[in-house]
Amino acid sequence: MRVSDFDFDLPPERIALRPVSPRDSSKLLVVRPDALEDRIFHDLPSLLQAGDVLVFNNTRVIPAALSGHRIGRLGTTPKIEALLHLRLDAHRWKAFVKPAKKLETGDRVRFGDEGKVCLLGVLEATVEEKGEAGEVTLAFDFGGPILDEAIAMVGSMPLPPYIAGKRGTDERDKADYQTVFAEREGAVAAPTAGLHFTPQLMNRLEDNGITTEFVTLHVGAGTFLPVKSEDTNDHKMHAEWGEVSAATCQRLVAARAAGGRIVAVGTTSLRLLESSGLKPFSGTTEIFITPGYRFRAVDLLVTNFHLPKSTLFMLVSAFAGLDRMRSAYEYAIGHDYRFYSYGDSSLLFPGP
């Protein structure tokens, strides 16, 4: 399909720069095949039924945005911004860097302030490999828990560029950009549909006979990248690591057999469940879902409002129908719904 098929006019003021408080007081647009309904997110238990299963992504965002300087060459030491997006092993990460033209294979980059990172004084890395679109492989001088500690000390929360371009990251984001059930560290972007849930809402879901399951997909920075090709067939997704346990699969299959519906909380949970086919899964996925895809594992989807021509708007259009989602987004814009990571949410029923 043409990428332009997924374009629409989004006024910049509709992009939320902060979440609402409390989290579950955000708006919720219910999108059925034949109707739209305005609700509040804390109404979710009444919109589901006993026996349904909500599947959450329990990944935890790390402060993966690093600032530093190129060192080792004579002359200038240009500033380098790096966004880690995929851990390769104990001491190597793939990252997107700016300006990429300032780095070559073999260059050294120093991150953080000297004297403040662990016992080595600085966090340094070697550019091991340089790829396309500003992607490099960084080999840090140390690895494992020591590297994790250093990244946590010098890094900042990696807010999406459409937010970070309008304001700086601050202390509030450390809590705001993390779900209440975040557990397994490794994501560089939040599974934002999960940001609307509170402990109280989780308890109400349980009281209504709606169960919960957790999977892990370490969301990468590739989720922020624009689609630059003109045809969806020419776009390549970046790999993200995920895991679905055998026990989780067994419970999901049993719930479906008993008449329950699998409700993916967020596009990350949906992509992982569809990658697994409700079978045990551990590894990377590059699944790219566009209209025409036949869903196997997910019956309903809770998701935020996405940007024009994004892979995520393509995914929701595949799930609920392109015409239906274009109408729903037009309605949302006209009724002051807030878009993107800190914005409002929707409950999508599948299209025809």
pLDDT of residue 119: 45
In Å, what is the CA distance from 2 to each residue of 74, 227, 292, 314, 341?
A: 47, 11, 13, 11, 25
Beta bridge partners of 138: 93, 127
pLDDT of residue 34: 93
Residue range 312-321: mean pLDDT, rounded: 96
Residue 341: both structure tokens together? 């990571």
> How confident is residue 286, by pLDDT bands cut at 50, 70 and 90?
very high
Q: Which residues of 244-268 are buried (b: 16+ CB within 10 A; e: fewer)?
A: bbeebbeebeebbeeebbbbbbbbb
pLDDT of residue 238: 83
* pTM of the shown model: 0.88
User: Given a cut of 50, is residue 336 above it in pLDDT?
Assistant: yes
277/86: higher pLDDT: 277
User: Given a cut of 50, is residue 161 above it in pLDDT?
Assistant: yes
Residue range 306-335: mean pLDDT, rounded: 96
**For 90-145, what is each residue's pLDDT tens digit?**
999 999 999 999 999 999 999 986 544 444 557 899 999 998 878 999 999 988 99
- Tell me the domains of the chain and their CATH numbers: 3-61+173-348 (3.40.1780.10), 65-154 (2.40.10.240)
| Residues in the chain, total | 352
User: Given a cut of 90, is residue 341 above it in pLDDT?
Assistant: yes
User: Given a cut of 80, is residue 276 above it in pLDDT?
Assistant: yes
